[in-house]
Every structure is written in C-alpha cells, then in structure tokens.
Amino acid sequence: MEDSDGDVEGRGKVQLGQTDNQTMEICQMLLSLVHAWGVDAEIDRLCETKLGMLRPKHPVCYGLISKHGFVSLLLPTFLGGPGSAAMAAPLAERTVTFTRRTHWELSSALTTTHLLSVIALADTLMSMNNTSFVPEPERRKRLQKQLTRSHSQTNQTLGKSQDGLLELQANFWAQVREGWSKIATLHCVQFPERMESSGVALKKPLVEILARRWQDRCIEIRQAAQALLLAELHRLSPRNLKALVDWWAPLLPSYADQPSVVPPQHAPDEHEPADGEPDDYVEDQMEGEARLCPATAIILLGVIGAEFGQEVSGGRAHGVEGFGLGPLALHTSQALAHLLQWEPHIDASRVLLAMLELCCEADSMAPSMSYGLPLAAAADTARTARHAVALIATARPQVFVTTMAREVARYNSLQQNAQSLNVVVHHSVLMRAKPEILRVVQLLIEKNHMELVRFLIELTDILLHCLDPGHLRQRALHEVFPAVARFNQITHCTSSRRVAVGTATGTLAIYDLRQTNKTQQLHAHTKAITACAFSPDGKFLASYSVGENKISFWQTSAGMFGLGHAQTRCVKTYSTPPLPEIVRLNPPRQPKLVWVGSKTVTALLADGTEQRYNV
C-alpha cells in the first residue's frame, strides 16, 4: 500500500508494530483493502488526506470461510492466465481494475461481508473521539503548513499561531468525522446506484446473511446489518419483493397449534411483469445453506412485514388487504412469538419484573457495551432487556406505571411484615432495579407527559420508592428528580417533609415522608386539580382547579403534642375568574401556583399575568 498525499512523501511499505497502537494499524490495513476505491473521487481523496487510509498497490486475493470451516479462495489476479491480456496489463492498471470492478463482481457473499465490514468499521471510528490513521507528527506538520500558508496570505503575525492551530485542529477533526460518515453512507445507501452507473456487474448483497446478522453479538455489525438489509429491501421492486416473500414463506416453521404454511395466492397475471419474465435477482439471493434456516425466514419475513406490510399485497385476489392483514402475517407473528418464547397471554408484572431483573447489572457492564467489543451473553441480554423495557413503557405508559405502582405497594406491604414472615426484601428486583425504573420514568415524562397526568398518584408512589429518602430531607423533589417539575400538580415541602399530589379526579393526596406509607387523601375539588403548592413554612397548602374556577387553602394541624393523626381542613376558598378556552384546553399554558409570602400565593398565567390570593 502507499500514501498518495501530494504534500508528504509516501511512507512505503507498512510494517505492523511500528507504532504503539497495533490495533489501529490492522484496522487501517483491513479498511483500506475493503473500501470501494474509485467509486467517488472526492471520498477517495478524503480517505487518503484526512483519514489516513492507504490505496492498494497490488490486487489482493480473498477467501471466505463457510460455517463448516471450509475456505474458498478467490484469486482474481490470475483469472486470465499467464498469457492473457489481463496479465499483460501493467500492475497499476490491474490494481485499479481490481479495486473498482473485479472486487465487486466476484461473489455476493464477498460483497455482503465487505459492505458489512466497511460500514461497521466506519461507524465505530465515527463514534470515537478524534480518530484518524494519519500519524500525529505528520498531522501536526500538515496543520502547521496550512497555518503558515494562511498567515502569509492574510499578512498576519505569528502571534496568533496557537489559536489558529487549535482552530485548524477542530476543523480537521470535524472533517474526519464527516469523512467516516460519508464512507458509511456511500457503502450503505449510494453503493448499488454508483456501481450501476459505472457499468460494474455488482454481485448484490445476500439478504439471508444480513438477516442472520440482525442480532449479531457485536453491536456495530448488528447495526450495520440492519441498516444494510433495510436499504437493500427498499431498493427492490414490488415484484422482486413479492417473489422474495413467496420464496421464504414456505420456510417458516410450523408448530402443532398453528395452521400449515399457506403462501399468499396471486392473481394469474399479477406476478408476471408486462415486459417479460422476472429477473434473476431472487435466484441469486437463494444461494447457500442459509436459506434452509427457519430462524432466518422468521427474521426476514418479520422485517419485510413490519416495513412493507401494505406494499407486499398479493392478497387482493381473496379480499385480504396486504401483508399486514393476511395469513402470512399471522403465521410470521406466531413464529416470532415462539422464537421469543412469549406466551399468548402474558402477565405484565412478571414480564416487567423479569426484564428489570435482566437489566439490573447493565451499568456494571457499560464498558463492554460502549467500547465496540463483541458483547458477552450477559451484556447483550442486559442491553436488550433495557431496550425492551423502554419500548414497552413508551408504547403502554399506563401499563408500566400501574404495574410498577402495584409492585411498589406489594413490596411496602411485604416490608412491613418482613420480620414476621422471615423474608429478606432488600435483595428483591424492585430494590436492585431502582436506577432502571427511574430512567424509564424520566423517559416517559419526556415523551408521554400528558398521558401520565391521570396517574400522578401511582407515579409519585414509584418515585418515592426509588429515590433516596436522605436526599429528600434537604432538597425538594423537583431538585432530586428534575423531570417531575413538569407537573404543577406535584409539590414538596422540605420543612414539613410532605408531598402533595393533585389528581385528575379532584382528589388531593398528601404524603408524610417522616412516616412510611402514611398517605392522606382529600376530596378537594369536583374537577381536575390544575396546580398545588405548599407555603414556605409548610403550614398551608394551596390547590387550584381551572375547571372548577376555584382555589382553596388547606391547613394541616397535628394532634396534641404532635401525637395522633394529622387533620387537614380547608380554611379559605376563592372563586377565580374563568380562563379562556384556549388556556383550559392547553395544559402547558395553564397557571401554576407560587407563594410570595407565608400567607400569599400567586397564580401565574402563561401570558405573564398573575392573580394574588391571601389566606
């Protein structure tokens, strides 16, 4: 290989071990060998000057290893024989021909493997900070030369050279990151069209290999396979996509409780195109033993059904509208359920607790999940479980919140009777999964803020269980967990150590943090409570209902000498002026309560106006 930068002499032969980072040298060599040189001149120039990749000087022979361990060697350099015209061409010309054309015309499996390698490596290097194969001394020499040239052109003094060098370094790393992104985009999105326009008979990627890599242990390869498979499926014409579905449908596994596989039927003339017989794309895709794998069929048909359910029709002849509503979709979903070992009727509590159990140790496995290494089984399971919990929660916020609140209530009841029942509750899933639960709750508040308003009491139960009680002694709830500040219906007083929650039914729930599981509920309003707030000394609580046009003040008094149950009573009520309809129907514009003194509260409106009320 060679370094063809015009400003610097070529480094000549590359010998591994010349630098301390041998891994980067190997990555440089491999990425330089599988990159599609000659497809885009601008990207090639960027690869050499900014990324430090090396253009091959000799054609390279490749080999593929089958799943049974056999090696098949591909020798494109000697395909023409010793006396052929190909061998008579100069070495440089043969190298250019190989890297631009022959490389991609040899084998579909080779094309698939190389595209996966380039995309995965480019994405990995793009996610790393300041990653380039250009050696540090050479990079500084180039930047210094650019800085000197810019100073000479603008007649500036060298006093600002340090600032200029830092700016050039920032621009350089920005261009490097953009270069890795362009390489990934070229090989994932633009590659087939570029090859077709240049007349290369490209061996297209094999979708079964991409489907088998859909859940690869290496996250970068997994993401590259998913992106490449979706891009390849989007390039298919409806005819080829339908033919692909028809080929893989009979390979779906049949189970005793499922009907036999019935591929979708077509009208007699629907599959045949108007301009002749179908092309040989699907036949090219069916090479290899991977086509016999039922799991590959399940994944591939699941992806096609999810992405193109309404496009892969074929069911109109018998009244079914598309893949998404046909028997093939039902069969695919049943096969997916069997593959994932999910029962038809599941218990939400058991599923969520099982998922939380799997992702409890996700933080301790963060290094293996963030440095691009192949994931161990435990780390892959933790990552998948964390992602699954987030998807379930965002798809069904009500189910997640009510389920977790019910489990918290069950845990609190068990904790009170732990000694009599001789049960250890500190090692339960609900205790070890507190960080994961808080992470999901924060995600729900950010994405499904309005859907949680109806479940504020359940949400508060979860937060008070997961947050450290010691933190709530000195700081307010919205300081310990800032996401809860989006709800004007939740207020916390650190002096009296109480939390009040106004619900959509008009109920006011008051939590006493000094006594575990001590909650008092009041029927404060007949409509939904819009906002509530404690006075600074905690003696009064104000509640406001926009629907009822009323604000009430509540005073909590303990029994004699602080003994007995606290009694909360309404001491004053004001009728408030009705708000415009646009404010009543727009929760973000509804007012919030702010105490400006020990006995004066202000209702702040979204337009900046305010209304003051005294106890």
Structural domains in the chain, CATH included, are: 22-149+163-204 (no CATH), 235-340 (no CATH), 346-466 (no CATH), 484-615 (2.130.10.10)
pLDDT at 419: 61
Most confident of 6-10, 65-69, 80-84, 242-246: 242-246
Higher pLDDT, 7 or 186: 186
Q: Is 339 helix (H, G, I), strand (E, B) or coil?
A: helix
Higher pLDDT, 500 or 145: 500
Among residues 539, 543, 544, 566, which one has the least CA distance to residue 555? 539
What are the residues whose beta carbons fall under 8 Å from the beta carbon of 312, sequence distance 6 or more?
238, 241, 242, 245, 304, 305, 322, 323
Q: How many whole angstroms separate alpha carbon 133 and alpha carbon 121?
A: 13
Decide if pLDDT at 534 tops 90: yes
Higher pLDDT, 129 or 11: 129
Most confident of 257-266, 323-332, 520-529: 520-529
Among residues 513, 516, 554, which one has the least CA distance to residue 532? 554
Decide if pLDDT at 377 tops 70: yes
Q: How many whole angstroms separate alpha carbon 86 and alpha carbon 373?
A: 42
pLDDT at 257: 47
Q: Are 511 and 538 in contact (CB under 8 A)?
A: no
Higher pLDDT, 509 or 6: 509
Decide if pLDDT at 10 tops 80: no
Q: Are 58 and 95 in contact (CB under 8 A)?
A: yes
Decide if pLDDT at 417 tops 90: no
554, 559, 565, 570: CA torsion to nearest 10: -20
Other C-beta atoms lying within 10 Å of the C-beta of residue 347: 11
- At 556, the pLDDT band (50, 70, 90 cuts) reads confident
pLDDT at 17: 43
Q: Which two tokens stand for residue 103?
A: 């490389």
Decide if pLDDT at 585 tops 90: no
Q: What is the mean pLDDT of residues 309-332?
A: 53
pLDDT at 610: 86
Q: How many whole angstroms separate alpha carbon 397 and alpha carbon 420?
A: 35
Tell how far CA 4 is from the center of its chain: 39
Helices (H) and strands (E) in the chain, counts: 25, 13
Question: What does the pLDDT look like over 494-510, one tens digit per residue?
Answer: 888 899 999 999 999 99
Percent above pLDDT 70 for the chain: 74
pLDDT at 511: 92
pLDDT at 561: 45
Q: What is the mean pLDDT of residues 393-407?
A: 89
- Give the least confident one: 1-5, 176-180, 404-408: 1-5
Among residues 514, 515, 469, 477, which one has the least CA distance to residue 493? 477
Q: How many whole angstroms separate alpha carbon 398 and alpha carbon 201?
A: 54
Decide if pLDDT at 281 tops 50: no
Type of residue at 546:
V
CA 389 → CA 347, 392, 451, distances in Å? 14, 5, 18
Q: What is the mean pLDDT of residues 524-542?
A: 91
**DSSP tag of 265:** P
pLDDT at 85: 54
Decide if pLDDT at 425 tops 70: no
What are the residues whose beta carbons fall under 8 Å from the beta carbon of 125, sequence distance 6 or more?
27, 131, 180
- E strand or H helix at 550, and its extent? strand 550-557
Percent above pLDDT 90 for the chain: 19
Q: What is the mean pLDDT of the chain?
A: 77
- At 457, the pLDDT band (50, 70, 90 cuts) reads very high
- At 263, the pLDDT band (50, 70, 90 cuts) reads very low
pLDDT at 271: 33
Q: Which two tokens stand for residue 378?
A: 């435990």
Most confident of 87-101, 144-158, 253-267: 87-101
Q: How many whole angstroms separate alpha carbon 65 and alpha carbon 332?
A: 31
Q: Are 460 and 511 in contact (CB under 8 A)?
A: yes
Q: How many whole angstroms separate alpha carbon 456 and alpha carbon 451?
A: 10
Q: What is the mean pLDDT of residues 569-590?
A: 83
